[in-house]
Structure 1
Amino acid sequence: MAGVQEASHGDVRRQHARRVLVFPLPFQGHINPMLQLADVLHGRGLAVTVLHTQFNALDPALHPEFTFVAVPDGVPADLAASGSIIPIILAMNAAMEASAAVHDVLASVLADDGQPPAACLFIDANLLAVHKAASALGLPTMVLRTGSAACFSCFLAYPMLHHNGYLPPKESQLYTPVKELPPLRVRDLFVTSSSDHEMVRKVLARASETVRNSSGLVVNTFDALETAELDRIRRQVDVAFVLAAGPLHKLSPRSTGSSLLREDRSCMEWLDKQAAGSVLYVSFGSLASMDGGELSEIAWGLANSGQPFLWVVRRDLVPGSDGPGLPEGFDRAVEGRGKVIPWAPQQEVLAHFAVAGFWTHNGWNSTLESISEGLPMICMPHFADQMMNTRYVEAVWGVGFELEGKPERNKIAKAIQKLMNEREGEVARGKARELKKKVGSSLENGGSSLLAIDKLIEHISSL
């Protein structure tokens, strides 16, 4: 079959009675949890076919247990190079809806006699075009929400937020509480100061439509973390189930293989040589960017803090530069105490005995991974759901605090000391450890997340 890369051995049909298809949105924070869910389902005896775009294409060699199928995405090269997430999502869906390519690929996959019959397709909520193509073929779709339950609850509330005057946001009202969605304030909603608000509104409306028209919703969270938010979604969305099956990275037997960036594993040997509970891990995710001045302030803030640190500095962190040049004298100032790498095996880093805190952009994967290891956070959100995640970290769970405003070296050094060595950081660390225990409970036999996976497998088996 054209476009299919067979990534398994022997008679797949004989080994597996049923098959699931998965189609992640092609950004790192969406790919990871979708492939983790695929791992979980495969571990329960289901064959897995991964559909993926040519944009940020996945490497089938890293997942020999799956079958991979490329799908034309229609994203113009210049737009793909820009990294502009919302325009890419809209362009991808528009191209897929204007073409029969997705329909034809799905039809070909379903007709493949060499594979077990497909029970359903798991998609990202941002792939409404794929849902429409699957529906036309009679293939049930389920949505994996790769963000928090609170974030999706906000998606659903967007029409209300407009009607009640919170949106579009006004500069004078950024700290106004959103009384319908406590503890959020206007500044915590799914917006940034530079957002094209109507474009954001369109993307979120389409994501909500995808979920409402699906057969069920799986959220990468756990019941004890977002009880009220999950209940709110269940009241508002009429689907067969809303399951909290996370943290998926703790359920997946595979910790590597879905990174779009090459991990520098030298950091693990470096961490092995550090004192227990001494290191601050710093990473702002796979998409955030900053200017050279901000990078310099962060560098000197880390240097002036006196704290051991491991800092992820992506080569494209400062757009338009030939690699993110660190300020002159920085290497000398932190010699023996700090390590800078282009990308890290983050789950392993956060679980390491030497790491005691995380300075993060608060994407949901990073937030959930930090909670899972009982680590408190310094929060520096950039866009999308990161402001909302930060608000929950600080005001609901009490496991960190926000570093507001532009990065400034003295403010940074004080924040690091507060997190790593002062009472406020110790209180946050204690609360993070309590949440870590709740993560463990959710993953035990009879725990909420394992029961959610059981229900999901039962539902798939009934299709």
Structure 2
Amino acid sequence: MEIQGSKTALGCTQPIKTSRRIVLFPLPFQGHINPMLQLANILHTQGFKITIIHAEYNSPNPSNYPHFIFKSIKDRFSEIADQLGTNKDPSYFVRYLNKSCVEPFKECLARLLAESDTDLVACVITDAGFYFTQAVADDLKIPRMVLRTSSLGCVLAYDALPFYSKKDCFNLTKEASEYCNRGRVVKWSPQQEVLAHSATGCFWTHNGWNSTLESICEGVPMICSPNFADQPVNARYVTDVWKIGVMLENGFEMKEIEMAIRRIMTEKEGEEMNERISCLKKKLNISLNEGGSSNESLQNLVHYISSL
């Protein structure tokens, strides 16, 4: 797992001698795939063999991970993929995948367990959103762990707030108006590399947890435009708790965008945000160093999986 501005997590620890395999299964959305592959890399550096079961939709490129084995399963997501731009309820797509992937996942995992190194499979790690996988794991008698890709603060908010009690209750972003100005629009860019560049002064983000973490890792204050799911909660932490960003309260109103950029880039408030986020960046890097809280948690995870 590479955190920009920090060494590889657990990079200084001695790998455990093991021939055991871990099977991982991410939701097929980038904010879920990236953390799962990062976790897979950490576990691989600790001596575990890695197999990734993945849906056909948005499948990872195996050539980028030659040290992993990839197994693709049918997901039928193409039948509803055209709704991604119009359906603002993310739970709809998660519920669909939790039905369409049941049999393909079970058959794939059963085949893996039936191979000659059956006793070497330590556990299966699935995205928390794939809730159907617990029943499959129980049926196949294999330990299951989950990876939740949202922040702890968001988990606490889920427990306290009546989420989804009303339709689109967390779709907080108004319809965007298109306009032309100075700038450049590209289909894709290496986000971590852009954030790490010295010319980057602020980051306009929807505040998915990956993007929020990456911005903190590089010490870049944020302009927040959350949309759904965990994004509004993350954005409120950024603006109201940690005070390292500015919320666009009225969607994409030109004047407000200009003011947000000025607040971060030219005003005293922006200097204070830079100081606070630099402090958070240092704390994050310390947590990943030997003896740090994140480092120790990862080591505990490795030892626990080895004990299964």
Please give the TM-score of this superposition, normalised by the length of structure 2.
0.87
Which residue does 2:29 correspond to in 1?
27
- CA RMSD in angstroms comes to 2.3
Q: Is the 8 A contact 2:175 2:251 kept in 1?
A: no
Could you tell me whether the CA contact under 8 Å between 1:357 and 1:377 is conserved in 2?
Answer: yes
Distance 1:111 1:78, change over 3 A: closer
- The SS at the match of 1:142 is strand
Mapped to 1, the partners of 2:164 and 2:82 lie a distance apart of 30
Which of 50, 56, 59 matches 1:54? 56
Give the one of 358, 361, 367 matched to 2:212.
367
How big is each residue's C-alpha offset from its partner over 1:308-351, in whole Å with a ceiling of 9 and x where there is no partner? Answer: xxxxxxxxxxxxxxxxxxxxxxxxxx3xxx43322110111111
Deviation beyond 4 Å, 4+ runs, structure 1: 288-291
Which structure is richer in relative contact order (CA contacts within 8 A, separation 6 or more)? 2
* Paired AA for residue 344 in structure 1: S
1:136 matched to 2:114? The reply is no
C-alpha change, 1:342 and 1:26, in structure 2 (3 Å) is same
In structure 1, the partner of 2:149 is: 146
The answer as to whether partners of 2:54 and 2:70 remain within 8 angstroms in 1 is: yes
Q: Report if aligned partners of 2:225, 2:251 keep a CA contact under 8 Å in 1.
A: no
Contact 2:174 2:252 in 1 (8 A): no
For the pair 1:90 / 2:95, whether they are aligned, the reply is: yes
What is the distance in 1 between the residues matched to 2:174 and 2:214?
A: 21
Aligned residue in 1 for 2:268:
423
How many residues matched?
A: 288
3-state DSSP of counterpart to 2:185: strand
Instruction: Flag structure 2 segments of 5+ consecutive residues without an equivalent.
Output: 1-16
Tell me the secondary structure at the aligned position of residue 374 of structure 1: coil
Alignment of 1:110 with 2:113, yes or no, is yes
The amino acid of 2:32's aligned partner reads: H
Which consecutive residues of structure 1, in runs of 5 or more, have no partner in the other structure?
Answer: 1-14, 171-189, 195-287, 301-333
Q: Deviations along 1:149-191, whole A, 9 cap, x unmatched?
A: 111223334xxx44xxx97369xxxxxxxxxxxxxxxxxxx94
Query: Separation in 2 of the partners of 1:455 and 1:44?
Result: 12
1:289 offset after TM fit, Å? Answer: 10
**Cα separation, 1, equivalents of 2:175 and 2:289:** 41
Q: Quick check: 1:168 aligned with 2:165? A: yes
Structure 1 residues 30 and 63, CA gap change in structure 2 (3 angstroms): same
Indicate how the Cα distance of structure 1 residues 420 and 447 shifts in structure 2: closer, same or farther if over 3 A, else same.
same
> 2:80 maps to what in 1?
79
Instruction: Measure the CA separation in 1 of the matches of 2:127 and 2:185.
Output: 33
- 1:409–1:109 distance in 2 versus 1, CA, 3 Å: same
**Letter paired with 2:109:** L
